[in-house]
Amino acid sequence: MNDLLRAMDKVVESAVAAIFAAMVIVGAAQIFYRYVLGGSLGWSHEFQRFAHIWLVFIVIPIAYNYGAHIGMNIISNRFPPKMHYGFELVIHSVWFLFGLGVCVYTLDLMEVAQRQTSSSLRIPMHYVYSVFLFSGGYTMLVAVRKVVKRLRTPVDQRIVEAGSLE
């Protein structure tokens, strides 16, 4: 199971790299068209905006998985080791609820967006907003993985790990 989850993480991280590469290529093509050929790509700005939205929302759960978001360490490090562990579980629960909230509200948004298309690319807007569902779902998955990992850690090791954070 861990191998499958790690493979999924690599696929998602590769998707981020591909989206970023596409943004760079389209941006370079727009510059080339504008300054060399004297024209412009009418769709490039919209493509880059949508790609940026996808990039940001896919990176949220990736950064959470790596522990790269600003944490509550200033508060949690002041707790005794046993309380630190409980606080960590609360934080992961909040992340899970965040992902769930994003998914729930995105479903409402996508219902409205099904009737809209983008101005340049002419794609249905619910495709653009679908990344919010992915991001929320992936965030919930990462939160569950982190809670399961902590619960599987022996109690003595949890206390040592929490104590080493001080």
Which pLDDT does position 165 carry in this prediction? Answer: 44
In the predicted model, what is the mean pLDDT of residues 114-124? 88
Q: Find out whether 154 and 65 touch, Cβ atoms under 8 Å.
A: no
Exposure string of 7-29, with b = 16+ CB inside 10 Å and e = fewer, is eebeebeeeeeebeeebeebbee
Structure confidence by residue, pLDDT tens digits, 44-66: 999 999 999 999 999 999 999 98
Residue 166 confidence (pLDDT) above 50? no
What is the per-residue pLDDT across 66-114, written as a single tens digit (0 to 9) for each?
Answer: 887 776 667 777 778 778 778 888 889 999 999 999 999 999 999 888 8
Confidence (pLDDT) at 84: 77
Percent of the chain exceeding pLDDT 70 equals 90
Which pLDDT band holds residue 23 (cuts at 50, 70, 90)? very high
Task: Please give the DSSP secondary-structure letter assigned to residue 84.
Answer: H
Name the more confident of 15 and 163: 15
Distance from C-alpha of 102 to C-alpha of 142, rounded to nearest angstrom? 14
24/163: higher pLDDT: 24
Cα separation, 133 vs 109, in Å, equals 10
pLDDT value of residue 88: 84
Residue 156: which pLDDT band, with cuts at 50, 70 and 90?
low
